[in-house]
Amino acid sequence: MTDPTGTMRLLTWLSPAFPTGAFAYSHGLEWAVETNAIKDGETLQGWLEVIIAHGSGRNDLILLRHAHRAAGDAAALRTIAALSLATAASRERRDEALAQGRAFLRAAAPWSPPELPADTPYAVAVGAMAGAHGISGDGTARAYLQTFTANLISAAVRLVPLGQTTGLRVLAALEPLILATAAATAAAALDDLGGCAFLPDIAAMRHETQYTRLFRS
């Protein structure tokens, strides 16, 4: 990414300080911690590798890239948004994507978002916004997946708990996979949506009835 304005906007929109409410969601990690499936940096890294390469991380990037390309096509964006909701493996995953998408579009109002349905999932909203502003699709995909991963690590740091240093080591170790997944989705069609992240999906479903919950998903 060489356009300084586009880089600044992407950094702002994907900053932890941008009010999307991402801090309130664990993406099912809370159940995984309670059941001891995640208990340290090594188990967290393994869990996130599955999500990134075979689960919602990969799917989100495919949807984001197609929204990026369709930024000026309201009808196509509606179709992509509906398909994105259909990929949610649980009610809480659906609510997570919608709540963050709405919050993102509200907060991004000063930058004039493109015409989007009221119920636009987060990945689709980010992709359409970046596309409308001429920001690189590749750069947006990499930044989105890195931010998504960092948010989940932040949740695990609070839940396990893990030290900040351990969390940063996990994020550093996942950099090659984040880059590889972003590159692998560059030419993916919507028909390529799918995955095999079964345990993270089950965790998201189990979280709905978990007795003690600090997170909304």
| Mean pLDDT, the chain cut into blocks of 10 residues (217 residues total) | 85 96 96 97 98 98 98 95 94 97 96 91 98 96 98 97 97 98 98 95 95 92
- What CATH number labels 27-202? 1.10.4190.10
* pLDDT value of position 118: 84
Q: 109 is written with which tokens? A: 């109002």
- List b or e across 25-47, with b for residues whose CB sees 16 or more CB atoms inside 10 angstroms: bbbbbbbbbbeebbeebebbbeb
Q: Domain ranges for the chain, please list them.
A: 27-202
> ω before 200 within 30° of 0 (cis)?
no
pTM of the model: 0.97
